[in-house]
Amino acid sequence: MALLGRVESTPLLEPAVRDRMFELLAAHFLRVSRESFERDLAEKPWTILIEHAESRELAGFSTLLAMEGTALGGPFRAIYSGDTIIDRRHWGDTELARVWLRFLIDFAARAPDVPAYWFLASMGHRTYRVLPLFFRDYHPRSDSEFPLLEKSVLDTLASVRFGKSYDAARGIIRFEPARECLRPEIAELTEAQRANPAAQFFAARNPGHGRGDELACLARISPGNLTPVARKLLQRSGNDRRVPASATALQQS
């Protein structure tokens, strides 16, 4: 069943769409409340909506927030991804990733002289694995030290966004008391998934992901930092449903 994505201004979302978004959220997370969902949504100016092409039923969404600051004396801009869900029936579809990547590239292009980054708080290994799939360089990772500039950018973003809940030394966001967390069947790694190096790194770096701890992550947004998979995805129109063998859609954050 074909999916189509679009970016919508969050204040313009209709009540029925908000109801479906919360339904999807509750199907993938524990300890969610409508109040916290609406409060978080109100902070995000944009929402990517993924709908069935024929029925227009909502199959997924991602909320987006622009941030900016200075690190080591220089300015930067960033896009923070909030709640991000794709119906489990459509895991493997790339429409959400396609629309999201186009949004990031357009965002960076609006101020080409200012470094732009994608800021992610990853609660699940599937979301962390988006980083090596679409970006050549990203952090944290197992095979490279965290550059001083990028670490400063990430610490600035995470501290502004999460305050004292962010542990800069560990790169972990931990709420007390615990907030929402992925349902166990989604958070837990299968034997096959444990063989994936990125999933292994995520589980080791964020051992509390099952309770809802998040790993703060960063990737530079630039055409030169995109992988071949990402570049091919951006070249496709919304009607081209072919999926590269190594690609997977954004899933839970």
Partners of 9 in the beta sheet?
Answer: 46
Residue 52 above 70 pLDDT?
A: yes
How far is Cα 179 from Cα 230, in angstroms, rounded to an integer? 32
- Structure confidence at residue 251 as a pLDDT band (50, 70, 90): very low
CB atoms within 10 A of CB 12: 8
Nearest 10 degrees: CA dihedral of 79, 228, 126, 243?
A: 110
Helix/strand/coil for 54: coil
Is 128 a residue whose pLDDT tops 90? yes
Residue range 143-161, pLDDT digits in tens: 999 999 999 999 999 999 9
pTM score of the predicted model = 0.91
* Residues 6+ away with beta carbon under 8 Å from 231: 223
β-sheet bridge partners, residue 30: 181
Residue 129 clears pLDDT 80, i.e. is over it: yes
Is residue 245 scored above 80 in pLDDT?
no
Measure the CA dihedral 97/103/107/110, to 10°.
Answer: 130
Provide the greatest CA pair distance for the chain: 50
Note the pLDDT tens digit of each residue in 7-25: 999 999 999 999 999 999 9
**Tens-digit pLDDT profile for residues 82-99:** 999 999 989 889 999 999
Which residue in 156, 140, 158 sits closest to 71, CA to CA? 156
Q: What is the pLDDT of residue 54?
A: 87
Pairwise CA distance, residues 81 & 44, whole Å = 9
Q: What is the pLDDT of residue 12?
A: 97
Are 250 and 97 in contact by the 8 Å Cβ rule? The answer is yes
